[in-house]
Structure 1
Amino acid sequence: MSANSHVSPPQTIFDALANGRRRALLSLLREVDEPIHVSRLATAIACREAPTAPDDALDARIEEVLTSLRHVHVPRLREAGLLAYDRRRDTVRRRSTRSRTEDRLVAHATAGDGRHDALLDAIAHPRRRAVLSALADRTDPLPRADLAALVAARTSGRDPDAVAPADREAVLVSLHHVHLPKLSEVGLVAVDGDRVRLSGEAPVDAACFRAVCEVIGVDPAAFGLGRDVVSAPGN
């Protein structure tokens, strides 16, 4: 199978969903059909984050949230194509993504109560998604060095044989110290010495993870999930 057999949507979508404040913003937008002022969103998010804060502390948090929405989170979500921003009115509204598959992922990711946080953080990085897709193509555990070559190829669009040794080594180091521990923490991979395999078990929220699998092109059966049609929450 070629290095490019699994095609992920833009990294910006995964970046957007990896942040809890952005997920809260999208969750609020799911509740309304009309554009909503950014200041109203800031107030709602601040109240969610600090429901028992005294008035003066809450006011300060609202201002901090408002600044972060205007300068960080709204631009990031707009870049990902998940919302439209009217600069003159300072309002935002929800937008559908480029595909129903991505819409279902966004719906599941923003419908929870925080239980998705660890999963969405784990799959946010392209190397970690490449690990899952590479392992899903294999029935036997992979040596770390072989996995690093596949991950380097999939994230660079090159054939594994064309990956320079230095690039492969850099990926290997990052897998060892960062990415495999992160995936192991959420139960997606199992590491046995030098060899790595899929855990064969899905995270707690199977519906959300099915949507993740559908988007990144990984067979959910590799995690013990059936090939059920994935529907968005409420459908």
Structure 2
Amino acid sequence: MIRGSSSRDVRRTDGEPTIETVFELLANRQRRYALHCLSGSRGPLSVTDLARRIERRDPRDSASSRMERKTALRHCHLPKLRAANVVDYDPDTGQVRPRSELTRLEPFLELARAEE
């Protein structure tokens, strides 16, 4: 059952993310790569380290876009992932840590990975 009727609801009443939230989180390639990197992480990562890991996963992006990638992570992708409760992100320290809820996205991440 879906909680509320707002399109901004990110969780169902059973705690699972809504399908709309899952698709929104996975719609962006950089965000998918961030989720891939974080799902394999055992501890916190800095935004810089996360950007480097994304760069290694995606050779289509040039090193010259590293600053743009970090900016997009800080101001767009990580806040969105934090709002969906799949990461803990502290903008003051620049640290991001996967939450246990990220495991609920892993089947969808695997499907996306197979298509990329």
* TM-score for the superposition, normalised by structure 1: 0.38
CA-based RMSD:
2.6
Name which of 44, 62, 66 aligns with 2:66: 62
TM-superposed CA distance for 1:73, in Å, is 0.6
Aligned letter for 1:43?
R
Deviations 1:105-159 (A, max 9, x none): x112223563346xxxxxxxxxxxxxxxxxxxxxxxxxxxxxxxxxxxxxxxxxx
Aligned letter for 2:93?
R
Residue 11, structure 1, aligned to residue 10, structure 2: no
In 2: Cα distance, 1:41 partner to 1:20 partner? 14
In 2: Cα distance, 1:95 partner to 1:83 partner? 5
* TM-score for the superposition, normalised by structure 2: 0.71
TM-superposed CA distance for 1:24, in Å, is 0.9
Partner of 1:110: 109
SS in 2 for 1:89: coil
1:176-195 → structure 2 map (5 Å cutoff): none
In 2: Cα distance, 1:112 partner to 1:37 partner? 27
Name which of 32, 40, 55 aligns with 2:41: 32
Q: Could you say which structure has the larger radius of gyration?
A: 1
Aligned letter for 1:24?
Y
TM-superposed CA distance for 1:82, in Å, is 1.0
Aligned letter for 2:78?
V
Segments ≥4 residues shifted beyond 6 Å: none
Name which of 29, 36, 43 aligns with 2:52: 43
TM-superposed CA distance for 1:11, in Å, is 3.1
Residue 77, structure 1, aligned to residue 76, structure 2: no
Name which of 86, 108, 111 aligns with 2:90: 86
- Alpha-carbon spacing, 1:112–1:43, altered in 2? closer, same or farther (3 Å): farther
In 2: Cα distance, 1:10 partner to 1:91 partner? 27
Percent identity, aligned pairs only, is 32
- Alpha-carbon spacing, 1:17–1:113, altered in 2? closer, same or farther (3 Å): closer
- Contact kept? 2:48, 2:70, Cα under 8 Å: yes
- Contact kept? 1:12, 1:76, Cα under 8 Å: no
Partner of 1:95: 99
Deviations 1:27-55 (A, max 9, x none): 1111122110011111111232226x7xx
Structure 1 unaligned runs (5+)? Answer: 1-6, 118-235
In 1: Cα distance, 2:95 partner to 2:106 partner? 21
Partner of 1:171: none
Partner of 1:230: none
